[in-house]
Amino acid sequence: MPVQIAVIDDWQDVARDVVDWSALDSVGQVSFVHDYPADNRTLAERLAGFEVICVMRERTRFDEDLLRRLPKLKLLVTGGMRNAALDLKAAAALGIQVSGTDSYKHAAPELTWALIMAATRNLVAEANALRAGQWQQSLGGDLHGKTLAILGLGSIGQRVAQFGQVFGMRVIAWSENLTAERAVQAGVARVSKQELFEQADVLSVHLVLSDRSRGLVDAQALGWMKPTALLVNTARGPIVDEAALIKALQKQRLAGAALDVFEQEPLPAHHPFRTLDNVLATPHVGYVSRQNYQLFFSQMIEDIQAWAAGAPIRLLG
């Protein structure tokens, strides 16, 4: 019997075209699922017949309850090598293997910088005004000579820091694990947490979501920021206290926010981030680029082939 393989979270209906899935013809049958996440009962009904499920990052949560509802499931394959939406402990207990893929390292930094530039120069508002027959509606800001604050100087944070340096910005950074040596290697100044928020003209979040980082950008931290500052988050939504950020934006204690990630995704229809004038929001597209998808899906195919051959690769957990 051919193995039943599901490629889910394919919201844009692009997975079938970015790589050649015929490489799996000898393994089984591939189905593409475009539905948004649902409750576990609905998901279990949708996915009950599949032995292999390919997931796109953290779009769909596979907790212990859902995994137990999928007795045929033998392999989960995720884009990237880290996925907080998968209960790896429960998967292991149920005999479900989990494989990952590499990631294209430039997509998220490029999207981050696009948001910084678009928000600073009011590009979306100006483009929309032009479509409406208007001309020059606002006064844009500047980046040269301003301070870019990097919260989390990992691989993505370092690339964003490099962009800032090219634009003539002073770059500072902080995280609990940042050493002076690593800061020097990246050409940035290491500061304290409070100094990071106080000095930032643009503060860009690049931490990994963990118990330690969840809610780290809270009301106190936002209160340290200049009223002229911009907060940018392309990391994970729960790192920022959404209620505190909304309040700061509504009261204009912060000039603006550029956000690609949210506490709940997809973002609810009537969420304030959809309507606040000082928010530039995009639907978590930091990793959604052709090269990244090609890498994700081509390595998902490799993972499935290796698993089918009895020698699974890139295992998580």
Residue 195 lies in a domain: yes
Do residue 87 and residue 126 come from a single domain? Answer: no
Do residue 206 and residue 218 come from a single domain? Answer: yes
What per-residue confidence (pLDDT) applies to 134?
Answer: 97
Q: Are 63 and 89 in contact (CB under 8 A)?
A: no
Q: How far apart are CA 186 and CA 207, in angstroms?
A: 16
Do residue 13 and residue 37 come from a single domain? Answer: yes
Answer yes or no: 110 catalytic.
Answer: no
Residue 315 lies in a domain: no
pLDDT < 70 stretches in the chain = none
What per-residue confidence (pLDDT) applies to 222?
Answer: 99
Do residue 85 and residue 213 come from a single domain? Answer: no
Residue 12 lies in a domain: yes
Do residue 259 and residue 299 come from a single domain? Answer: no
Do residue 148 and residue 119 come from a single domain? Answer: yes
Q: What domain range is 52 assigned to?
A: 3-104+289-308
pLDDT tens across 267-317, in order? 999 999 999 999 999 999 999 999 999 999 999 999 999 999 999 999 998
Do residue 155 and residue 265 come from a single domain? Answer: yes
Of the residues 265, 271, 302, 314, only one is catalytic, namely 265
Residue 186: its H or E element: helix 180-186
Answer yes or no: 265 catalytic.
Answer: yes
- Kindly report each contact of residues 214-217 with a partner whose C-beta sits within 8 Å and lies 24 or more positions away, as own/partner: 214/238, 214/239, 215/239, 215/240, 215/241, 216/151, 217/151, 217/241, 217/244, 217/245
What per-residue confidence (pLDDT) applies to 6?
Answer: 98
What per-residue confidence (pLDDT) applies to 38?
Answer: 87
Strands 97-99, 147-151: parallel, antiparallel or unpaired by DSSP? unpaired
pTM (whole model) above 0.75: yes
Joined tokens for residue 2:
């051919």
Task: Classify residue 131 as left (phi > 0), alpha (psi -120 to 50) or beta.
Answer: alpha
Residue 267 lies in a domain: yes
Of the residues 51, 59, 236, 242, only one is catalytic, namely 236
Do residue 122 and residue 265 come from a single domain? Answer: yes
Of the residues 57, 59, 206, 284, only one is catalytic, namely 284
- Kindly report each contact of residues 176-180 with a partner whose C-beta sits within 8 Å and lies 24 or more positions away, as own/partner: 176/212, 178/153
Answer yes or no: 195 catalytic.
Answer: no
Nearest CA to 206 out of 149, 146, 165 is that of 149
